[in-house]
Amino acid sequence: MIAPDEEDIIILENHTHKTLEAGCKECGYMHIVFQACISIEMESKIFFLSVECPMCESTYKDIMIAIPLNGYEKKRYDLNDKSIYK
């Protein structure tokens, strides 16, 4: 498993902040529990949040952005390994 690089961290910080400003998508409660994740797929990196709301007890995945992999990244990642790094 490969750790996120500096560019990945910047993307997570910026998009997580924007997503969290709205609070829970179901009830609008602002104090949600979340985990920021990056999934490496065959053609792209998917940046998303796994969200839990303690108020309405909903759980969901909030996809923030998908970025196409370039040639170097396709070689860097084992695309047969479906692991997600967090």
Q: Cα(55)–Cα(19) distance, rounded to whole angstroms?
A: 18
Q: Which residues contact 18 (CB under 8 A, 6 or more apart)?
A: 64
* pTM of the shown model: 0.75
Q: Which amino acid is at 65?
A: I
pLDDT tens, 7-62? 899 999 988 988 889 999 999 999 999 999 999 887 888 999 999 999 999 999 99
pLDDT recorded at residue 50:
95
pLDDT of residue 3: 77
Q: Are strands 44-52 and 33-40 parallel, antiparallel or unpaired?
A: antiparallel
Domain boundaries, the chain: 6-85
